[in-house]
Structure 1
Amino acid sequence: MKKFYVASSFKNIDKVRYVSNELISKGYIQTYDWTQNERASTVEELKEIGQQERNAVLEADFIIVLLPAGKGSHIEFGIALGQGKRIYLYSPNDEINKFETTSTFYHLSEIEKCIGPMDELITAVTK
């Protein structure tokens, strides 16, 4: 079965858990659940989490990035892009396509943009 990783910010933790649980219920395998972590309080903890997250992205067949996302998520996005992995980029609104808030990398052919209700993201990933 396909392996996945979900990248986002701590403020989207409930959405990350929702997407992960939906995919797991459909037989997909999550490579790492960072939502189980507490916020790091030392550089050593940051290093350990960074290694786990990097390894999870490398192990995944595809990643999902839920916007708004922080700098770590964008680094994970870059790792996946560099590895030629499928990337699903999700936003509840059209910020992905607004010139003021978009990134050049959001528009590459390897990126599947999903805008709107989260269940449409689940449908796109599992089709």
Structure 2
Amino acid sequence: MKFYIASSFANQEMVKQLSRKLINQGHAQTYDWTINSKAENAEALAAIGQLEKAAVLEADVFFILLPAGKGSHIELGMALAAGKKVYLFSEEADVYDFSATTTFYHMPEVERVIGTLDDLMKFVAEKLGSGRLAGQTAMLK
């Protein structure tokens, strides 16, 4: 399985942890954006954007770790439009707070996982192993 992980710069350590766990299980990361520093000009933004777009489209599975910024949400849109399997992860159940959520978190192709990073790994391993990949919520706290 090839994967891409979207999130905010504030979640870089969580992204790296999930990446390591998935790579250790034999999966391939399409692009590791955590190696970048914040872009300082429009040319750098464009170059990073091209790499990230290609990586989202190449991935079999797309992860978005909340909280996430506007770029991650654009990547989420690309993943949904391309028919990718999406795992949305949050440590808190605020994805159900209608003042803060988005309709795209509740699409049938989005698996919502609430809990810890280890809970996410267990949930994904179960789903990938069973072939059941669509539209449920795991409340793991």
TM class, shorter-chain normalised? over 0.9
When structure 1 is superposed on structure 2, of 43-52 and 93-102 the one drifting more is 93-102
Paired residues for 1:38-53 under 5 Å: 38-53=37-52
- Aligned pairs for 1:66-105 within 5 A: 66-105=65-104
Q: Are 1:109 and 2:108 an aligned pair?
A: yes
> Where does the alignment leave 5 or more consecutive residues of structure 2 unmatched?
127-141
Following superposition, the deviation at residue 126 of structure 1 comes to 2.0
Equivalent positions of 1:4-83 (< 5 A) are: 4-83=3-82
Distance in 2 (CA, whole Å) between partners of 1:45 and 1:55 is 16
- Structure 1 residue 45 displacement after superposition: 0.3
SS in 2 for 1:44: helix
For 1:78 and 1:66, locate their aligned partners in 2 and report how far apart those are by CA, in whole Å.
Answer: 14
How big is each residue's C-alpha offset from its partner over 1:72-99, in whole Å with a ceiling of 9 and x where there is no partner?
A: 0000000000011100000000011111
Which whole-Å CA distance do the structure 1 matches of 2:53 and 2:123 have between them? Answer: 24
Question: Quick one: distance in 2 between partners of 1:36 and 1:29?
Answer: 16
Name the Cα RMSD after superposition. Answer: 0.6
Deviation (angstroms), 1:7: 0.1
Q: What is residue 120 of structure 1 aligned with on the other side? A: 119
2:86 aligned partner, one-letter code: I
Q: CA deviation at 1:63?
A: 0.5
Number of aligned pairs? 126
Counting aligned pairs with the same residue, the percent is 52
TM normalised by structure 1 equals 0.97
Counterpart of 1:81, as a letter, is L
Q: Equivalents in 1 of 2:31, 2:124: separation in Å?
A: 18
The CA distance in 2 between the partners of 1:41 and 1:125, in whole Å, is 36
